[in-house]
Amino acid sequence: MSAVGKLYFCAKPAIASLASILSNPIEYLKGVGPLRADLLKKELGIFTFGQLLDHFPYRYVDKTTLRTVADILPGSEPVLLSGIVTDIEVSGDKRARRMTAQLRDRSGAVELVWFQGISWVQRSLVPGGSYLAYGRPSFFMGHAQLTHPELEPLQDEGSEPRAFMEPVYPATEKLKARGLTGRSLGKLTQALLGMISEKDIPEILPAVILQEMGLPSRWQAYVDIHFPSSLEARHRAAERLKFEELFVAQLRLGMLRSARHRHSRGLVFQQVGDLFNGFYAHHLPFALTGAQKRVLREIRRDTGGGRQMNRLLQGDVGSGKTMVALLAMLLAADNGFQSCLMAPTEILSQQHLASLTGLLKGLPVQVELLTGSTKAAERRRILAAAADGSLQILIGTHALIEQQVRFAKLGLAIVDEQHRFGVAQRARLWEKSEDTPHVLVMTATPIPRTLAMTAYGDLDYSVMDELPPGRKPIVTVHRIEDRRPQVMEFIREEIAQGRQAYIIFPLIEESDKVDYENLMRGYENVKAWFPEPKYWISMVHGRMKPAQKEENMRRFVANEAQIMVSTTVIEVGVNVPNATVMCIESAEKFGLSQLHQLRGRVGRGSEKSWCILLTSNKVSREAKERLQVLCTTSDGFVVAERDLELRGPGDIEGTRQSGALQFRLADILADRPLLERARDWATQLLDTDPGLTHAAHETLRRYLQAAGAGNAWSRIS
Ligand code: ADP
Ligand code: MG
């Protein structure tokens, strides 16, 4: 691993990373001790003083403002009242006992009600005594009530309105059983804050940022997030801490990116040679789109400049990424380097092989395919050709990252449809050859810009936002089950005109028995609508043997079968331009971006295409709303944005495992404006002081280094 790989990445910066009293073990905090310490470690992951400070409240009890009975309105937040308790009464029988009392202040009276713990309350309550009462008001027959209020005798010390809101922390049942409740955790935090001072939580943000953004200091923010004097103070504290999280994350990504640019020795693709030029002049079946040309120029610049390329290429479905990949691989071959192209499914890699060998016919380029089902002898031959450098292009599935695969001179590694691969899997590709190859990651799942800048901020980033000319838009409609006859009739008409259709069934987990049975039933059903020998149907699903899948796929590609019944294995990459209908059964069960991917299987030729989303009439409003998004737009980036809004970032494909989107306070959806500002500030800072060597950035640099220990992130996201 290069120096860059050792750089730090951690999406959850922690306060304790600067050595101080805050790194003391939690058992040494007064009121904790060994037993509770054990629980805090196991249940909340709190090992040190600092980690306790990093355990934030999720709500507050606001006893800062004294209200009067007359202030209480229906729907009020909990209120703090002060008054005299009178009229204590117990009623009801043993089973349903009830105790009431009146709390009177100058403005009126409110009823206090208890259903439980009555004898205890009765014993401790002094009739005619003055009390502070706190609770959420409810209204019963027009009268305000506080049920099970918190009461404190007024003469006691500290029974005035509080200067701070009381924090309530996330706690588990096990903690509560040991007396560590959501509220008592606050006592520990309070004690801890009493022991430390501003110097223990030094500022890490540059003064100019604090000033321009009007943010409180780090110390103030920590005090206020735990014990705010008002909601306003809590808001400012949260804003500051969120900004810090986002800023630090952006800074790390920016440093990774620039360190890679500075340090990594890239293989140099010096020349555009005969293969590239010959192919371009004589074999290219169409003119490249502007976007394709632009991306190729970017790749050429990256690979020719002496630094290692690490580029994420986002191109909507059908934008022609395969051609870009091929041309990039020819460029590598022209410079004596091998390339590999990794695809997520067997079908897709087979299809890549077929289209690449077709395009390269007559050119001196050896292309091979390696998958899990490659036969032993064939496999040996291919491995030998990769190792001795005689093959130029190796296409394959996960099989490519197996141990035995070695290249003589791997210059370019391309990952297609990137979201199916985990971070670690990708990283293994880069170690297949002596020198780190250039890397191109291609995805058809558009990721909203904000997400991309968070999850993949250390990669260079290209977008292909242009479809090849002559594509007719795809008409997308939502149809209810009872219109099935019309839908099937429509598919027949299309087939009568020589076109083909996909019918997709949800099989989210290939092992799911119910889904599998539905698929089989669905297949029989389709067969009944489209009987042999007039029609032929192909079927592909994950439980089939690879050879069987391949044969079914081949028949559909060759138009020997007019209909392809399939699960989502067809989702990525498959290219049959003659198919004009994509019919998706139980469409509500799919994610938006998955539906967009499926839809992208049609509209690849010059004929008008349709995408039909079938559901029963019982789907929820939300589901209808989601499907409506697809009916109104065909722009993958718009779909992705809406998907993000509807589902939240936790679910975006391909980002879950990266952990890069999880922040303690910040929510990259709700806090997008803050994220943008964090990004801008981070960029600006790194532009002026790339190594953070200025004195003003000293604490920040030390913080980043300390927080990074043990959190090394692979050099590619
Ligand atoms: P994706 O970006 O989804 O992987 P593909 O590479 O499969 O898209 O390309 C989709 C289709 O568009 C293929 O049939 C391909 O041959 C065709 N295509 C690619 N580039 C162009 C172009 N510049 N002009 C016309 N057709 C193109
Ligand atoms: Mg593709």
449 — pLDDT class (breaks 50, 70, 90): low
Peptide bond into 153 cis (omega under 30): no
Nearest in space to 271 (alpha carbons), one of 359, 333, 323, 340: 333
The verdict on the CB of residue 288 being under 6 Å from ligand 1 is yes
Burial class (CB in 10 A: 0-12, 13-18, 19+), 582: buried
Contact 375, 328 (CB under 8 A): no
Contact 607, 579 (CB under 8 A): no
Nearest in space to 250 (alpha carbons), one of 666, 530, 616: 666
Q: What's the pLDDT at 658?
A: 42
* Residue 384 tokens, joined: 């030998």
| Residues 428, 499 within the same domain | no
| Residues 453, 400 within the same domain | yes
Distance from C-alpha of 420 to C-alpha of 423, rounded to nearest angstrom = 10
The verdict on the CB of residue 604 being under 6 Å from ligand 1 is yes
Q: What's the pLDDT at 389?
A: 95
Contact 583, 526 (CB under 8 A): no
Check pLDDT > 80 for residue 430. Answer: no
- Distances from the Cα of 332 to the Cα of 125, 212, 298, 326, angstroms: 85, 48, 14, 10
| Residues 175, 32 within the same domain | yes
Nearest in space to 414 (alpha carbons), one of 334, 309, 279: 309
| Residues 526, 561 within the same domain | yes
Q: What are the contacts of 199-208 at 24+ separation with CB within 8 A?
A: 200/20, 200/21, 200/22, 201/15, 201/22, 201/53, 202/18, 202/699, 203/699, 204/244, 204/699, 204/700, 204/703, 205/243, 205/244, 205/247, 205/700, 206/685, 206/696, 206/697, 206/700, 207/696
The verdict on the CB of residue 352 being under 6 Å from ligand 1 is no
Distance from C-alpha of 122 to C-alpha of 125, rounded to nearest angstrom = 5
Distance from C-alpha of 7 to C-alpha of 525, rounded to nearest angstrom = 56
Q: What's the pLDDT at 12?
A: 42
Among the bound ligands, the one closest to the CA of 348: 2
Q: Give the residue with greater pLDDT, 77 vs 285.
A: 285
Q: What's the pLDDT at 573?
A: 60
610 — pLDDT class (breaks 50, 70, 90): very high
Check pLDDT > 60 for residue 17. Answer: no
Distance from C-alpha of 1 to C-alpha of 531, rounded to nearest angstrom = 58
The verdict on the CB of residue 246 being under 6 Å from ligand 1 is no
Residues paired with 381 in a beta bridge = none
Contact 283, 359 (CB under 8 A): yes
Q: Are strands 310-315 and 150-153 parallel, antiparallel or unpaired?
A: unpaired
Contact 250, 452 (CB under 8 A): no
Among the bound ligands, the one closest to the CA of 605: 1
Tokens 């897709």 belong to which residue? Answer: 348
In the chain, the percentage of residues whose pLDDT exceeds 90 is 43
In a domain, 244, yes or no: yes
**Entry pTM:** 0.66
95 — pLDDT class (breaks 50, 70, 90): confident
Residue nearest to atom 23 of ligand 1 (CA): 288
Q: Give the residue with greater pLDDT, 459 vs 695.
A: 695
633 C-alpha to center of ligand 2: Å?
A: 21
What average pLDDT does the segment 36-47 reach? Answer: 91
The verdict on the CB of residue 322 being under 6 Å from ligand 1 is yes
Q: Give the residue with greater pLDDT, 452 vs 563.
A: 563
265 C-alpha to center of ligand 2: Å?
A: 30
| Of 33-47, 559-573, 681-695, the least confident | 559-573
What average pLDDT does the segment 282-290 reach? Answer: 94
Check pLDDT > 70 for residue 333. Answer: yes
Q: Kindly report the CATH number assigned to the domain that includes residue 86.
A: 2.40.50.140
The verdict on the CB of residue 542 being under 6 Å from ligand 1 is no
Query: How would you write 94-124 as a 3-class SS string?
Result: CCCCEEEEEEEECCEEEEEEECCCHHHHHHH
In a domain, 517, yes or no: yes
Q: Give the residue with greater pLDDT, 458 vs 136.
A: 136
Residue type, 370: L
What average pLDDT does the segment 191-210 reach? Answer: 92
314 — pLDDT class (breaks 50, 70, 90): confident
Q: What are the phi and psi torsion angles at 150 (to 5°)?
A: -85, 130
Give 474-521 pLDDT, tens digit per residue. Answer: 999 999 999 999 999 999 999 999 999 999 998 756 566 777 788 889
Distance from C-alpha of 368 to C-alpha of 449, rounded to nearest angstrom = 36
User: What range does the domain containing 109 cover?
Assistant: 75-162
DSSP letter assigned to residue 586: T
| Residues 117, 173 within the same domain | no
In a domain, 187, yes or no: yes
647 — pLDDT class (breaks 50, 70, 90): low
Please give the tally of structural domains in the chain: 5
| Residues 492, 352 within the same domain | no
| Residues 158, 251 within the same domain | no
Q: Of 433, 464, 495, which residue constitutes the final position of a domain? A: 464
In a domain, 23, yes or no: yes
Check pLDDT > 70 for residue 99. Answer: yes
* Residue 692 tokens, joined: 């953070």
Q: Give the residue with greater pLDDT, 421 vs 77.
A: 77
Q: What's the pLDDT at 638?
A: 85
Contact 366, 357 (CB under 8 A): no
Distance from C-alpha of 105 to C-alpha of 123, rounded to nearest angstrom = 23
541 φ/ψ sector (left φ>0, alpha ψ -120 to 50, else beta)? beta
In a domain, 653, yes or no: no
Check pLDDT > 60 for residue 4. Answer: no
In a domain, 70, yes or no: no
| Residues 155, 167 within the same domain | no
| Residues 292, 394 within the same domain | yes
390 C-alpha to center of ligand 2: Å?
A: 26
Distance from C-alpha of 66 to C-alpha of 4, rounded to nearest angstrom = 57
| Residues 279, 223 within the same domain | no
| Residues 616, 514 within the same domain | yes
Give 623-638 pLDDT, tens digit per residue. Answer: 898 899 999 998 888 8
Q: Which residues contact 414 (CB under 8 A, 6 or more apart)?
A: 325, 328, 329, 339, 340, 341, 342, 439, 440, 441, 442
Check pLDDT > 80 for residue 37. Answer: yes
322 C-alpha to center of ligand 2: Å?
A: 6
In the chain, the percentage of residues whose pLDDT exceeds 70 is 87
| Residues 501, 620 within the same domain | yes
Distance from C-alpha of 206 to C-alpha of 400, rounded to nearest angstrom = 46
* Residue 442 tokens, joined: 């291609």
pLDDT mean across residues, the chain: 85
604 C-alpha to center of ligand 1: Å?
A: 8
Give 230-242 pLDDT, tens digit per residue. Answer: 889 999 999 999 9
427 — pLDDT class (breaks 50, 70, 90): low
What average pLDDT does the segment 588-599 reach? Answer: 86
613 C-alpha to center of ligand 1: Å?
A: 24
Q: Give the residue with greater pLDDT, 652 vs 410.
A: 410
Contact 501, 563 (CB under 8 A): yes
697 — pLDDT class (breaks 50, 70, 90): very high
Q: Kindly report the CATH number assigned to the domain that includes residue 318.
A: 3.40.50.300
Q: Give the residue with greater pLDDT, 253 vs 379.
A: 379
Q: What's the pLDDT at 282?
A: 92
Residue type, 286: F
Q: What's the pLDDT at 253?
A: 81
Q: Among the ranges 451-455, 472-476, 711-715, which has the highest mean pLDDT value?
A: 472-476
In a domain, 647, yes or no: no
Give 371-420 pLDDT, tens digit per residue. Answer: 988 999 999 999 999 999 999 999 999 899 888 899 999 999 999 876 65
| Of 163-167, 336-340, 653-657, the least confident | 653-657
Check pLDDT > 60 for residue 2. Answer: no
10 — pLDDT class (breaks 50, 70, 90): very low
In a domain, 646, yes or no: no
